[in-house]
Structures are given as structure tokens and as C-alpha cells.
Structure 1
């Protein structure tokens, strides 16, 4: 696996892959997996999916300061670079782009991004400026890597929707892939932040997923959106360790909340529904979602 830290070197290395080697052989397709490191099996599943759909796989590790509205969260973000490299190499990643902040942001960033309805709900209401930072770094990485395919995890569903809108609006020639959430055996969605959970927190953390399952069951049983939502919130409220920020039932494409009185049987069958939750467990913020087709 090639490791590159500088932008010029990255561009120089990838350029031949985009050129036709001969009249008989077309250019190679590039698959890209942007990460912030502290990798787990969920990230590796994205690498494996990228290998299936592309000839050359690039992964980036960069903890992006622009997307943290909480400086403590940025400072405490877990770092495990040597372990990450071994995992990527074992998974068959071809190139790791490993820039630092000075490389990515040589000058102060004055650009801001707004995504209208998509960043005015859920995460957007609790993490001011977060999605502007996400949009800037992903757009920059897309410009540097110029991938044909890019792979993201479903756990960050709102982030994926925003990146999809950005790709469409800015005409990036990239096919995006939203890959299934990978879970621990007890249902907890895999996340880099899970490393910060202490023993007691780790025991109750799966209750987040259980709240989603309960909400889904209520909807399937014919209860209204409002009643199903309240059941999920009440389930988490039983545990004093949780500080729930939201549990929303939304259109999976637009991320707009469904009408409170709506019932599953009266929702257009073509609509994909997402149940999304965010809660704090101590000072660790957990998010998760499930999708109902």
C-alpha cells in the first residue's frame, strides 16, 4: 500500500491511472473511501466494497477540524494510525492519503456551504456549521483524488444525503454508494467513538439500536408517527445515562419529518422511511438509524 502525505505527490501518482495505457485498455476506475481514522470493521467493509466496484482503491485519513463544533470532541477524537495502516493493507487498499491540517488548509478557509432543508434538521440543529465543514473537506478530497466511485456508511445518513446533493449540484462525475451499517453482535452500530465508552457505558449503548427497533415495530403495528416516535424516546428516557437529542421519523431521501398523525399504511409505498436517533452517553455522542422500505 502506497502512503502519500502531500497533495502534489498524490496528483502525480494518480494521474497515470486516469490516462489510457493503450488503445486496447481503458483507464482504471478509482474507488475512494474518505475517513477520519480510528478504523473499524465498518470502514473496512467500505474498502472491500470499493474493491468490488473499482480497479484502484484510495482511502484518506484526516481528522477535519472544520466539521467539529465542539473543540473537546475534536481534541478527544481517537487516533490509531499504525493500526489503521495495517487494517487497510490487509483489506487490499492501494493508496492511503494522509494529509495534515497544514496540507489541507494552507490558508484560512473563508468558504461556507449551506444545504438548505437538508442541514436544517437533526444533526444540523445540534451541530452548527458541521455540514459546511463536511462539504468543504469532501469537495476538496473529491477534487484531489478525482474518484469514479466514493463510498460512505449509512450510519451517517444525513451526511450522505448532503454529499449527494453537493455532487448533484456541483456536477461531480462521481457515483456515490451508501453502504449498510455494520453492527456489533449486540446491535451497537460500529463507530470510532465507541472506543471511548467505558465498561458500564458499553453495556447500555446497544439500547440506542433497541429504541429504533421498538419505533419500527410500533409503526409496523399501525401506530402513528407521533406515537411510535414517543415510544422510542421513552425507551431511552428509562436510562438516566442517556441525554437524547432527537429521535425522528423522516423521509430517507429528503430527511424531512413525516406528519405526526401519519400511519405507515397511509404513506406512499415508494417512500423510504428512516428512523434516526442521536443521544449523548456521558460526553460521547452516539448516532444511529434504520431504514424501512
Structure 2
């Protein structure tokens, strides 16, 4: 595995790797996984899937300042590049792109990618500009790597919807691969931010997966309404004394339209039940997609 810090070197290495593979087969496939680093088993599962499906596997590690708001945790976001490189190698990456902020943004950026409507809800409602930053950096990385397949975890289902939208709208020749959320043995969704939780916050955070696990049973109850379903979820979460709800929302997926009736739940579109909850100063997200 090679660690590469510059765009020009990565492009050269990828051209050479493709040429070498195409000596023995008609075409090569590049799988790509962009990350903020501080990897855990969830990241490694995506790399391993890319390894099974692609000839060349590229991972990026870049804490992107564009997607952090003024009062968010860019400076204190956990970083451990040496460990990340080791984990990426173990999982099967061929190249890890570790650019500096100056390499990615050598001058103040004047171009951005803006996805409308689906970025105005859920995390986008409380984090203005976040998804513009995500869409812009992922677009840049796609231009740099030019992958055939890109792998994203469904823990951040809204982010996946945003990326699918702009790649479709802009006719980008990359297939977005949705990957299942990985969880700790007790059900907590794996996240780099879990390290911020103290022991009691970590224990109480299990209420997120527990509440999602009850949704199917509640939906099956006679006379259930969307209002009651949302209330049941809220009451379950609020039973954890440290939980402070940012949102509990039920929406179609990937369109992210509001679901207001059980008829919509039983319709043809998948339904996303999405949560964002703070435990202390740590904001966690979780979700589950339901099919009729």
C-alpha cells in the first residue's frame, strides 16, 4: 500500500496501475472510499467490500473544513493518521490519499456544489452549509480519483442521498454503493464521534438503536398513526436522562419527503426513520430504512 499526499502523484500512480492491470484484462475498475479518518471497523468493512469488487482500491483521509460549521468540531475532530494507514492496509487498500488542506484548496475556493431540497431537512436544517461542503469535496475527490465505484455507509443516509443526487444530476460516471451500517455488539452505530462519549453517555446512547428496533412492532399495532409513531420514538429516547433530541423524523428515501400518513408508509417508497440526538456535547445520528 502507498500513502500519497499530492493530487498529481495520485493521478500518476492510478494511471500506471490501470495500465498494468489492462495488460491482462479488458478494463480495470477503481473502488474509492472517502473518509474523514479516525477509522473503525465500519470503514474497514467498506474497504474490504471494495477489495472484493474492484481491481484497485483507493481510500482518502481528509478532514474537510468546508463541511464544518462555525461552532462545530473541526479542530478537535479526532485524528490518527498513522493508525488509519495501518488499518487501511490491513483492510486491503492499494493507495491512501492524505492531502493537506492547502493541497485540496490552494486558493480560496469560489466554486461549490449545491444540492437543493434534500439538504434542507434532517441534518441540513441544523447544519447550514454542511452538505454543500460535503458535495463540493466529494466532487473534487471524484475528479481526482475518477473511480468506477464509490462506497458509503448508510449510517449517514442523508449524505448518501445527496451524493447519489449530484452524481446523477451531473452525469458523473461513478456507481454509488450503499453499505450497511455497522454496529457495536450492543447495537450502537459505529462512529468516530463515539470516542467523545463518557461511560454513562455511551450507555445511554444505546437508546437510539433500541428505539429504531421497536419501530416495526409499533407500526403493526392497530390504529397506529404517524403522529403516535413519532411520539413513541421520542418518549423512548427521552427516557434516557442525558438525551437531547435534535430531530426524530420519518421521511421517504431517497427523496426525503415528509411522511404524514400510514398510507405512505405502506406505499412503494422505502421509509427512513432518522434520529439525531446529543449526549453531553456529542451529537450522534442513527437511522433505519423500512420497506413495505
Q: Into which bin does the TM-score normalised by the smaller protein fall?
A: over 0.9
Q: C-alpha offsets along residues 134-160 of structure 1, whole Å, 9 cap, x if unaligned?
A: 001000000000000000000010000
Q: C-alpha offsets along residues 86-136 of structure 1, whole Å, 9 cap, x if unaligned?
A: 111111111100001000000111223322221111111010000000001
CA contact (8 A) 1:51 1:57 kept: yes
Query: How far did 1:196 drift?
Result: 1.1
- In the alignment, structure 1 segments of 5+ residues that lack a partner are none
- In the alignment, structure 2 segments of 5+ residues that lack a partner are none
Tell me how far apart the structure 1 counterparts of residues 22 and 278 of structure 2 sit (CA, whole Å).
55
CA contact (8 A) 1:20 1:26 kept: no
* Map of 1:250 onto structure 2: 251
Tell me how far apart the structure 2 counterparts of residues 70 and 182 of structure 1 sit (CA, whole Å).
30
* Map of 2:49 onto structure 1: 49
Query: How far did 1:211 drift?
Result: 1.8
Note the aligned Cα RMSD (angstroms). 1.6
* Map of 1:128 onto structure 2: 128
* Map of 1:219 onto structure 2: 219
Tell me how far apart the structure 2 counterparts of residues 22 and 58 of structure 1 sit (CA, whole Å).
17
* Map of 2:145 onto structure 1: 145
Instruction: Please say if 1:156 is aligned against 2:152.
Output: no
Tell me how far apart the structure 2 counterparts of residues 265 and 113 of structure 1 sit (CA, whole Å).
31
* Map of 1:272 onto structure 2: 270
Tell me how far apart the structure 1 counterparts of residues 117 and 61 of structure 2 sit (CA, whole Å).
29
Q: C-alpha offsets along residues 248-278 of structure 1, whole Å, 9 cap, x if unaligned?
A: 111112011101xx1268621x221111000
* Map of 1:170 onto structure 2: 170
| CA shift in 2, pair 1:18/1:124, >3 Å | same
| CA shift in 2, pair 1:61/1:118, >3 Å | same
* Map of 1:87 onto structure 2: 87
* Map of 1:234 onto structure 2: 235
Query: How far did 1:24 drift?
Result: 5.6
Three-state SS of the structure 2 residue aligned to 1:119 is coil
Query: How far did 1:71 drift?
Result: 4.1
Moved more, 132-141 or 84-93: 84-93
CA contact (8 A) 1:58 1:97 kept: yes
| CA shift in 2, pair 1:63/1:49, >3 Å | same
Three-state SS of the structure 1 residue aligned to 2:106 is coil
| CA shift in 2, pair 1:48/1:21, >3 Å | closer
CA contact (8 A) 1:17 1:27 kept: no
* Map of 1:191 onto structure 2: 191
5 Å-filtered alignment, 1:202-213, equals: 202-213=202-213
**Paired positions, count:** 290
Moved more, 106-115 or 132-141: 106-115
Tell me how far apart the structure 2 counterparts of residues 105 and 201 of structure 1 sit (CA, whole Å).
37
* Map of 1:102 onto structure 2: 102
Moved more, 185-194 or 67-76: 67-76
Q: C-alpha offsets along residues 40-96 of structure 1, whole Å, 9 cap, x if unaligned?
A: 000000001101211110000000000011444111211111111111111111110
